[in-house]
């Protein structure tokens, strides 16, 4: 405790020097925290787009469906499955879906489509399809109309209230054909889906495919991404063959690989930033030692043990690191809070690239705790490692040279 008190007093004997050192750590923590927040924010946005627009966080499927996506591998969503999903507190919404393929035709134009049979109200709670509505109206329960993706509608030269012909293969090879009015046009953020997506009321879709009361998946949403693993664990204990439970990352491995690849690249950038921060701290600590060389020599000459002097200098460095880290976190919180609530809108080529990837053209920031404490811990560890330098310098100090400094 006595050494701590001496170290604390030593810091403020030269306020300017101490504040310069603290400032170098302060800005290092802020820069690294902002970089991490931007990085994690972009990952969260990417996952959020995939989850809320298409796959959901979890899906209950026939155990053979994912390997062979045919309507023949659909299943009856029995009440017991809904009861199990409702019993898991982390799950907030459940939406049945029948997904298959069909040919969409208008006049002499034809294109292959992905046909989604949805419960309009439940699907809205999961994927919020209506927010992508460009013209027309959203589907109602029992509606006999369709929602058509914008690029598909443009290719087929159809608009709201026009008729679209659908041809396909139904359950167990039954022929599927029908004419349906277009209720609305949706502009989807994913370019591939925007070229081939058609939404239809679930009961109407089941009738079209002769798949009465069948679905290909039950889409499950959780309140927070952090609840995903708990919900998955509970469902895996309760749901057995012939059903299976899949998480979004199992269904979208390319997104996971993209995030991991980008995160690996970011490690290099963070490494460079931490090296810069480390050299900044090292420079100020070296300057501090050079200025106090004679002082340390005098202290040893009048009887202070070298080891104790080294401990005091080490504690001083730790206190400087602690002050810099705490002030850096305090300074980064309002900055990240502002950008978290006010995402930066991108323009030009950067915006076009993100739109082509199916991501909204905004730079989002993350507010997860690890953004703050990971950077703080890393910078503090760097400071601790640098703190051994004044300790070793005091142990090896040449007394004659120090007194002449």
- pLDDT tens-place string over residues 37-95: 888 887 877 777 777 777 889 999 999 998 888 899 999 998 899 999 989 999 999 99
Read off the pLDDT band of 359 (50, 70, 90).
low
Residue 227 near residue 90, CB atoms below 8 Å: yes
Highest mean pLDDT among 70-84, 262-276, 293-307: 70-84
Six-digit token string for 223: 């309140």
Residue 367 near residue 340, CB atoms below 8 Å: yes
Q: Which of 86, 59, 88, 89 is nearest to 75 (CA)?
A: 59
Task: Give the integer Cα–Cα distance in Å for 161 and 146.
Answer: 10
Q: What angle do CA 380, 385, 390 make, to 5 degrees?
A: 115
Which of helix, strand or coil describes residue 344? strand
Is the model more confident about 269 or about 146?
Answer: 146
- Residue 126 backbone phi and psi in degrees, to 5: -95, -55
| Domain residue extents for the chain | 2-50+255-404, 64-240
- Residue 362 backbone phi and psi in degrees, to 5: -130, 150
Six-digit token string for 262: 């980008």
Give the rounded percent of residues in the chain with a pLDDT score beyond 90.
34
Q: Which of 296, 378, 404, 283 is nearest to 31 (CA)?
A: 378
Cis check: omega of the bond before 36, within 30 degrees of 0 = no
């Amino acid at each position: 405790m006595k050494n701590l008190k001496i170290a604390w007093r030593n810091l403020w004997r030269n306020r300017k020097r101490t504040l310069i050192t603290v400032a170098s750590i302060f800005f290092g923590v802020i820069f690294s925290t902002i970089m991490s927040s931007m990085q994690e924010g972009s990952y969260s946005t990417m996952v959020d787009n995939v989850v809320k627009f298409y796959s959901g966080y979890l899906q209950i499927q026939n155990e053979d469906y994912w390997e062979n996506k045919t309507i023949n591998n659909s299943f009856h969503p029995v009440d017991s499955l809904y009861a199990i999903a409702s019993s898991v507190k982390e799950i907030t919404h459940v939406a049945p879906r029948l997904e298959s393929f069909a040919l969409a035709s208008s006049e002499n134009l034809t294109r292959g489509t992905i046909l989604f049979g949805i419960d309009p109200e439940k699907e809205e709670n999961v994927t919020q399809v209506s927010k992508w509505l460009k013209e027309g109206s959203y589907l109602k329960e029992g509606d006999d109309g369709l929602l058509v993706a914008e690029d598909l509608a443009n290719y087929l030269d159809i608009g709201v209230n026009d008729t679209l012909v659908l041809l396909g293969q139904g359950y167990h090879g039954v022929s599927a054909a029908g004419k349906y009015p277009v209720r609305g046009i949706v502009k989807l953020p994913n370019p591939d889906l925007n070229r081939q997506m058609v939404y239809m009321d679930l009961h109407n879709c089941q009738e079209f495919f002769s798949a009465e009361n069948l679905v290909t998946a039950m889409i499950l949403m959780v309140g927070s991404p952090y609840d995903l693993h708990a919900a998955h664990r509970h469902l895996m204990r309760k749901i057995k063959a012939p059903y299976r439970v899949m998480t979004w990352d199992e269904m979208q491995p390319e997104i996971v690989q993209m995030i991991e690849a980008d995160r690996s690249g970011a490690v290099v950038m963070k490494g460079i930033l931490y090296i810069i921060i480390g050299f900044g701290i090292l420079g100020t600590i070296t300057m501090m030692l050079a200025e106090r060389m004679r002082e340390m020599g005098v202290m040893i000459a009048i009887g202070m043990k070298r080891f104790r002097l080294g401990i005091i200098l080490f504690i001083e460095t730790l206190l400087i690191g602690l002050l810099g880290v705490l002030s850096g976190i305090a300074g980064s919180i309002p900055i990240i809070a502002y950008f978290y609530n006010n995402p930066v809108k991108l323009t030009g080529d950067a915006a076009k690239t993100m739109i082509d990837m199916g991501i909204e053209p905004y730079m989002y920031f993350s507010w997860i705790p690890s953004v703050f404490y990971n950077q703080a811990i890393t910078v503090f560890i760097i400071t601790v490692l640098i703190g051994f330098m004044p300790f070793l310098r005091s142990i090896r100090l040449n007394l004659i040279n120090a007194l002449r400094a």
